[in-house]
Amino acid sequence: MNSLDLPHVRNAHGAVQLPGSKSISNRILLLAALAEGTTLIEDLLASDDTERMLEALIKLGISITPLDPHTYRIVGGKGAFPITQADLFLGNAGTAFRPLTAVLSLLQGHYRLSGVARMHERPIADLVDALRQLGADITYLGEPGFPPLEIKPIHSSNTDRNSVTVRGDVSSQFLTGLLMALPLSKKASVIDVAGTLISQPYIELTLAQMRRFGVKVERNGWQQFVIPAQQVYRSPGRIMVEGDASSASYFLAAGAIGHGPVRVQGVGRDSAQGDIQFATALEKMGANISMGENWIEASSPVNGYEKKCLRGIDLDCNHIPDAAMTLAVVALFAEGATTLRNIASWRLKETDRLTAMAHELRKLGATIEEGHDYLRIAPPSDGLLPHADIDTYDDHRMAMCFSLASFGAPLRINDPDCVAKTFPDYFKEFSRIVFP
């Protein structure tokens, strides 16, 4: 395994053009593949996750023409895939695996879906149970409740309406998959959510992309979603992918810790992405934040010419589950402890992020309290411990988050190439904006 040594840095300033949003990229790829018409997608994220989705769609018979690394022309399949039997390998891409499971389960094909070992540890039973309510024929090929899966043609129903209940307190991707798939049936559909829906902004993001392709969903609070009958996905023609708000968090945090200003370009105040609210969390910690239509800028708190320290906060992070990881490292540079709550979903991601984050923060000298769904971080009183070896658990966000610890001490990041999942050039961009 390779590693990357990061020197101790103290300052950050500059501007970063963000890569396209992973969440938007994979949603748009799938919707374009299902739509009537041809879609030109611009500013698509080039990453492992989008590669897995592109490979799967091509294997399913969709015509995809790359025009450059970030621009693709996709000829939609009009609500179906030309290839009705295929084995699909989806790596560790949850944004590909869960929606594809839902879509393929409602079609008349025979498919096998698998991924890396970690994907086979990530639960999918709640989605499978919901799809079986609709007549889907899904078999677990390994441990029950987890991938890999075998999908056979759906059992046809004589009812003129779909009615399904899905749990909302494990992963919002299950509801996203159902929302994207059910219009293919042409029937009126009602989805009831059992329990408290987590990561609600990601559902807003799903609904926004569906609207771009002509399908509207009526939402009754966060407990019920109604999809009117006879809706069809239609290509908008040309569509641009917004910059990734989760990726923005690392650079905004750098500006908040390292004087700044640091500006991220490609996402702004009107973004549909929930992680845009990371900027508000930084503001609560004392950082200076400003926003435009397509940019956000962060700098350290100041009082005249005197730099002031950030302050610890107590925050419910249900709305920013990915960007909350960045706050855990920012907490090392705050006065007082920081408590991040409502983050049980961390345990079901690329790794058990709650345990992984707690373990690596302790290597830097922090005092950590880890609960089932919260993390409390008290920074070391005498500064970060130098030359820590930070393990990343094949998790891109672990690698990117802990780069920020270099503002306190030199450290080593193990397996830095895992950032290819969403941001292959991350460390190159990070090195451009940080200084001794």
Q: Give the active site residues.
A: 322
Numbers of helices and strands, H then E, in the chain: 12, 28
Residue 147 phi/psi, 5° resolution?
A: -65, 165
Closest CA to 279 of 43, 268, 106, 219: 268
Looking up tokens 């053009």 gives 17
How buried is residue 147: exposed, middle or buried, by Cβ count under 10 Å (0-12/13-18/19+)?
buried
Pairing type for strands 38-42 and 71-75 reads antiparallel
Q: In what order do the strands lie in the sheet with 388-390?
A: 3-6, 411-414, 388-390
* Tokens standing for residue 140: 């677990």
Rounded Cα gap, residues 400 and 408, in angstroms: 15
Token couple for 197: 């829906």
Whether the Cβ atoms of residue 96 and residue 22 lie closer than 8 Å to each other: no
d(CA 195, CA 173): 15
Give whole-number Cα distances, 265 to 251, 321, 415, in Å.
Answer: 11, 22, 27
How is residue 313 written in tokens? 């906060």
Find the helix packing angle between 94-105 and 22-34, rounded to 10°: 20
Helix (H, G, I), strand (E, B), or coil: what is residue 210?
helix
Which backbone phi and psi does 197 adopt, to 5 degrees? -75, 120
Sign of the dihedral through C-alpha 329, 334, 337, 338:
negative
User: 105 with 131: CB under 8 angstroms?
Assistant: yes
User: Which tokens sit at 62?
Assistant: 């969709």
What is the side-by-side strand order in the sheet with 434-435?
288-291, 295-299, 259-265, 11-17, 434-435
Q: Which two tokens stand for residue 195?
A: 């329990």
Q: Beta strand pairing status for 137-140 and 411-414?
A: unpaired
- Element (DSSP H or E) covering residue 300: none
